[in-house]
Amino acid sequence: MIATAVLAAAACAAGLLTAGTGTVQAAARPGVPAPETAWTGVPAPETAPPGVPVPETSWTELSGLSETWSKASKALLEPMVAAAEGARGRPVDCRRAKCVALTFDDGPGRYTDALLRQLAAYRAQATFFVVGQNVAAYPGILRRTVAAGHEIGNHTWSHADLTRLSAAGVRAQLARADQMIKAVTGMVPRLVRPPYGAMNAAVRRQTSRPMVMWSVDTLDWLHRDSARVTRKAVKSVRPGSVILFHDIHPTTVRAMPQVLKALSKRGYKFVTVSRLFGGNPPRLVYSGAGPGVL
């Protein structure tokens, strides 16, 4: 029965997100108030999104996707972000400190909350490149991520290979993810990371935002081995590294306490991608050798 209910919720979420009119379909469940305004202006993706993950959130949470609600989210989250920043004191200056940017792609997912707790234990800031569909499935997790002061980047709506899409298709993938992130957090991400790192000049022309690649690839998605992920991250890190992880794999999240501990011991400060570049990341971030290096 529980499985049926969850699947029904997933179907609702899918219906909500793929509604051709772009309006929120709120009539499906009795007793749930309709959002105040229709959610419009979100372009449909070029291809039908593949299976939307099973949401852990309630219909009520998903049905709040409106501009009104987006503003409320921002009003709620901004003081929390400021408090999180205040608690950490002065921002790290990566021209002096040994900084590393831990980046987590493809979430939010069911292991992200555990990761947030691990990061908090080390007062570590990270950057999450989220997939729009997964934001729709786990809006509460994204809000907690933002409230903890982490940075959010756009990783497209459905994890599309942008080099295979038309210019309009690329823009739609980014815009739809932006809209969802804004609806949930009240904020639009400043950074973009193309899925698979697949990018070309045509893709880059579709956004003026920094395209953030990485300098250390842990290959965590391939090996699914915590010890191996830890070894790779710790061995390859240099001041200014941008390390690529995926928080949708439990093996990665289980590796993080060791990664955080080992890098802390070596004097690394864990900062967001924007902080790594003094708040002003360049248009293309490869970051092999340090801040400011493309």
Q: Pick the catalytic residue: 150, 155, 246, 249?
A: 246
CA 128 vs CA 25, 38, 112, 146: distances in Å:
29, 28, 10, 9
Is the Cβ–Cβ distance between 225 and 251 less than 8 Å?
yes
Q: How many residues does the chain have?
A: 294
Nearest residue to Ni ion, using CB?
Answer: 105
How far, in Å, CA of 56 to CA of 69, rounded?
Answer: 20
CB of 231 to Ni ion, least distance (A): 22
Contact residues for Ni ion, defined by CB under 5 A: 105-106, 195
Task: Give, as one character, the DSSP assignment of residue 197.
Answer: G
CB of 184 to Ni ion, least distance (A): 19
Is the Cβ–Cβ distance between 49 and 18 less than 8 Å?
yes
CB of 8 to Ni ion, least distance (A): 28
Is the Cβ–Cβ distance between 140 and 165 less than 8 Å?
no
Which is nearer to Ni ion, 49 or 195 (by Cβ)?
A: 195
Which is nearer to Ni ion, 122 or 221 (by Cβ)?
A: 221
Q: Pick the catalytic residue: 105, 106, 178, 220?
A: 105
Which is nearer to Ni ion, 106 or 220 (by Cβ)?
A: 106
Residue located via tokens 């992880």: 245
How far, in Å, CA of 258 to CA of 266, rounded?
Answer: 12
CB of 155 to Ni ion, least distance (A): 6
Q: For the chain, how many helices (H) and strands (E)?
A: 12, 9
Tokens of 120: 């908090």
Which is nearer to Ni ion, 195 or 210 (by Cβ)?
A: 195
CB of 170 to Ni ion, least distance (A): 15
246 part of the active site: yes
Which is nearer to Ni ion, 232 or 249 (by Cβ)?
A: 249
Is the Cβ–Cβ distance between 33 and 7 less than 8 Å?
no
The catalytic site residues sit at 105, 246
